[in-house]
Amino acid sequence: MTSLFSHFPVDRADWRPSADLATLAARAELLARVRVFFRDRGVMEVETPLLSPGTAPEPNLEPIACCGGRHLVTSPERHMKRLLAAGSGPIYQVAKAFREDEAGRRHNPEFTLLEWYRPGWSMTALMGEVADLVRMAVEWSGPPRESTWSGVFRRLLGVDPLADSIAELERAAREAGVGLPAGLDREGICDLLLSEVIEPALGTEGGALFLTGFPASRAAMAEIDPGPPPVARRFELYVGGMELANGYQEEGDARCLAERFQAVNDAREQTGRRRLPTDPRFLAAMEAGLPPCAGVALGLDRLLMLRLGRPDLREVLAFPWDQA
């Protein structure tokens, strides 16, 4: 008996691209403009491997493991820094990056990063160049503003994310209408408040905002300003209530980086996750010497979302994750 309730099979019905063709033309145009931007500034385009035996372990990034123990890169960072250590000078890359399980309106497990490095530059100088590049795609009024990570918690939620008690943070979440999962620690509460309350309010009303002064625990490969309190020399750019870019004053000390990877792997193991392989060639390059530099990774798919006013990543990708 044929069921009255059967449906057309979805794996055939959705063969068409989820972005319209005009959007794909706008993507091509944006890429062309990006390449002109960097050529005019003497920054060299490079290509680096997508599959690598090593990783740069992070607490909240899961690389996708595949063929022969290799991993798809979560960013081109390690390989680009090997080029910098080899004396490449300023370089940029338009690269696919892969992060397991990150799928949503603003995430696709396979996405396009624009990453670039400026030897001899300060983080502040690089923030200026990031603003120049983004302004090429998205109009905003006035100079970008800057705020510290703890400053936005105070301003938007009336709490000090590092000094106030967990109970006070929970109360602020309740008042803001954010439901917290049970047993969330301080960092978890702050992450959820940042996503739910703070991010939507940043860089709205036609402006842009650089967030700086992140906790040292979220430094990744950025230098740490010893303080007190110690803070990461790291920035994120927010435009239209969306995180667009993440940059560092780069930490080049091989021993310091090796210790951070070790600490991440220890923490991963304690929470029941596998240890991730580190990257001896990357650490050897750091020992040989990374020139003092600032670097940044910018989500090109998100930049296109902002440029075209599209609320969902699906609308700017030809074939998103569930249609790949």
Partner 1 sequence: MLTHNQLRQGTKVEIDDVPWIIVDAQFVKPGKGQAFTKIRIKNLIDGRVIDRTYKSSETVAKADIIDQEMQYLYSDGEFWHFMDPATYEQFALTASQVKEVTDWLIEQANYQVTLWKGKPISVVPPPFVIMTITHCEPGVKGDTVSGATKPATLQSGAIVKVPLFVNEGERIRVDTRTGAYVERAKG
Using CB under 8 A, list all residues that contact partner 1: 3-5, 58-61, 101-105, 107, 178-181, 184, 187-188, 190-192, 194-196, 199, 214, 218, 220, 236, 243, 246, 271
When the beta carbons of 104 and 142 are compared against partner 1, the nearer one is 104
DSSP 180: P
C-alpha dist (Å) from residue 57 to 97, 131, 199, 244, 273: 15, 29, 25, 22, 12
Cα dist. 266→59, 260, 276 in Å?
10, 10, 10
Quick one: 164 or 196, whose CB is closer to partner 1?
Answer: 196
Helix axes 300-308, 123-137, angle to 10 degrees: 40
Task: State in angstroms the smallest separation of the CB of 5 from partner 1.
Answer: 6
Distance, C-alpha 157 to centroid of its chain: 24
Q: Which is nearer to partner 1, 158 or 188 (CB)?
A: 188
Provide, rounded to whole angstroms, the least separation between the CB of residue 42 and partner 1.
29
In the bound state with partner 1, the residue whose beta carbon lies nearer, of 168 and 187, is: 187
Whole-angstrom Cα distance, residue 197 to residue 154?
A: 12
CA torsion angle 179 181 186 189 (round to 10): -30
Q: State the nearest-atom distance from the C-beta of 88 to partner 1, in Å.
A: 26
- Residue from 76, 121, 56, 96 nearest 283 by CA: 56
CB closer to partner 1, 191 vs 225: 191
DSSP reduced 3-state for 22: helix
The answer to whether the CB of 279 falls within 8 A of the CB of 51 is: no
Q: How far is the CB of 107 from partner 1 (least distance, A)?
A: 6
> Which residue lies nearer to partner 1 by CB, 37 or 111?
111
Query: What is the smallest separation between the CB atom of 218 and partner 1, expressed in angstroms?
Result: 5
**Closest distance between partner 1 and the C-beta of residue 227, in Å?**
19
Strands (DSSP E) found in the chain: 44-45, 51-52, 65-66, 70-72, 91-98, 110-119, 145-148, 208-215, 224-225, 231-239, 242-249, 293-299
Q: Which is nearer to partner 1, 37 or 248 (CB)?
A: 248
- 8 Å CB contact between 294 and 247: yes
**C-beta of 248: minimal distance to partner 1 in Å?**
11
Q: How far is the CB of 234 from partner 1 (least distance, A)?
A: 8
38/247 with CB nearer partner 1: 247
Are the C-beta atoms of 109 and 102 separated by less than 8 Å?
yes
